[in-house]
């Protein structure tokens, strides 16, 4: 992060320097020098902008050093094919979501780094993205009401979104989804959700969840 902050400060300073130099050359009618300074200003402003997006997003996501448990979830059956999920994330208030179906899935946004960004030594970062329900029967999945809940609010600057839309601007950023496989819901079942560098893993955390997954398999 220190390298990122230093890179942003240097790029922003040079962009400002070349911007002022461009106006100075224009006033003196030195058009060739003004053109060169203008190009340099745009280049360093572009670098500063990209660096700022990465820094802003890095603080809005969680760091992922190794596989870690990111959440726990408990289900309460409300009626046929409808459950209430209690999502527990460390450092946050518990949240409750109603899910339709008999299986559930949780997704996360993952950002990992590849050359040339790896020289910055940044850890992968993640943010839980959505929680959804699904019916195991194909006919129900086609015709019955489904539920999908957002787990994070939109950010004005998000390296994941920008890198997905404009990958050429972020050649060292790998932005992708990590998703746990669909897992059955059951009344009283508790699951722990862990995140590796490329996927979410839902593991039974009590006997009811073990029985549900055992019967499901």
What's the first-to-final CA gap in the chain, in angstroms? 44
User: Which residues make beta-bridge pairs with 86?
Assistant: 74, 96
**Is residue 159 classed exposed, middle or buried when 0-12, 13-18 and 19+ CB atoms within 10 A define those classes?**
buried
Domain match, 157 and 104 both: yes
Domain match, 24 and 45 both: yes
**pLDDT value of position 24:** 82
**pLDDT value of position 35:** 81
Domain match, 55 and 68 both: no
Q: Which residues contact 70 (CB under 8 A, 6 or more apart)?
A: 62, 89, 108, 126, 128, 193, 194, 195, 200
Domain match, 56 and 112 both: no
Q: What is the pLDDT of residues 101-134, one digit of tens each?
A: 999 999 998 888 776 666 566 778 888 999 999 9
> In total, how many domains does the chain have?
2
1 confidence band (pLDDT: 50, 70, 90)? low
**pLDDT value of position 173:** 80
CB 126, CB 180: distance < 8 Å: no
Calpha distance 201→16 (Å, rounded): 47
Domain match, 98 and 163 both: yes
Domain match, 128 and 187 both: yes
Q: What is the pLDDT of residues 148-187, one digit of tens each?
A: 999 987 776 777 787 788 777 777 788 888 888 889 999 9
Percentages (nearest 5) of helix, strand, coil residues in the chain: 40, 35, 30
Domain match, 16 and 77 both: no
Q: Which helix (H) or strand (E) covers residue 97, if one does?
A: strand 95-100
Domain match, 148 and 94 both: yes
3 confidence band (pLDDT: 50, 70, 90)? low
Domain match, 171 and 73 both: yes
Domain residue limits at 38 = 2-60
Domain match, 97 and 198 both: yes
User: Which residues make beta-bridge pairs with 103?
Assistant: 134, 184
Question: For the CA atoms of 76, 78, 83, 84, what is the dihedral angle to 10 degrees?
Answer: -60
Residue 15 is encoded by which pair of tokens? 């962009």
CB 85, CB 131: distance < 8 Å: yes
């Amino acid at each position: 992060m220190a390298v990122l902050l230093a890179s942003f400060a240097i790029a922003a300073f040079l962009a400002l320097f070349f911007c002022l130099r461009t106006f100075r050359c224009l006033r003196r009618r030195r058009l060739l020098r003004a053109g060169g300074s203008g190009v340099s200003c745009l280049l360093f402003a572009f670098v500063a902008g990209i660096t700022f997006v990465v820094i802003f997003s890095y603080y809005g996501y969680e760091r992922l050093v190794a596989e870690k448990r990111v959440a726990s979830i408990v289900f309460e059956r409300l009626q046929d094919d409808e459950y209430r999920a209690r999502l527990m994330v460390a450092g946050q208030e518990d949240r409750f979501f109603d899910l339709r179906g008999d299986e559930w899935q949780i997704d996360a946004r993952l950002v990992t780094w590849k050359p040339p960004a790896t020289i910055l030594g940044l850890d992968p970062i993640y943010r839980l993205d959505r929680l959804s329900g699904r019916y195991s029967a194909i006919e129900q999945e086609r015709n019955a009401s489904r539920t999908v809940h957002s787990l994070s609010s939109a950010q004005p600057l998000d390296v994941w979104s920008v890198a997905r839309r404009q990958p050429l601007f972020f050649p060292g950023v790998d932005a992708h989804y990590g998703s746990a496989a669909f897992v059955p819901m059951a009344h009283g079942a508790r699951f722990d959700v862990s995140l590796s560098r490329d996927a979410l893993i839902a593991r039974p955390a009590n006997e009811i969840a073990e029985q549900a997954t055992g019967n499901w398999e």
